[in-house]
Amino acid sequence: MLELSPFLLSQILAAVSFGFGLTSYQFKNRRKILLCFVACNIFNASHFFLLGRPGPATLLLVTGVRYSVATVTTDRRVMVLFLFVTALAFIVFSTNLLSLLPCLGTLIATYGSFQSDDRRMRLIIMVGNAMWTVHNVLASTPVGAFMEGAFLTSNIVGYRRYYK
Residue 95: per-residue pLDDT:
76
Q: Return the closest-CA partner of residue 146 out of 97, 127, 154.
A: 154
Is residue 41 in a domain? yes
Q: Does residue 74 sit within a domain?
A: yes
For the chain, how many structural domains are there in total? Answer: 1
Q: With bands split at pLDDT 50, 70 and 90, how would you rate the model's confidence at 89?
A: confident
Whether 39 maps to a domain, the answer reads yes
Q: Is residue 88 part of a domain?
A: yes
Residue 2 counted as domain residue: no
What span, in angstroms and rounded, lies between the C-alpha atoms of 32 and 77?
A: 23
Domain that holds residue 123: 7-163
pLDDT of 99 strictly over 80: yes
Quick one: pLDDT at residue 25? Answer: 86
Domain presence at residue 38: yes
Give pLDDT tens digits for 3-14: 889 999 998 998
Q: Is position 1 within any domain?
A: no
Residue 76's pLDDT is 95
Inform me whether the pLDDT recorded for 75 exceeds 90.
yes
pLDDT score of 41 more than 90: yes
Assigned domain for 54 exists? yes
Percent composition of the chain: helix, strand, coil (DSSP 3-state, to 5): 80, 0, 20
Distance CA 110, CA 132 (A): 13
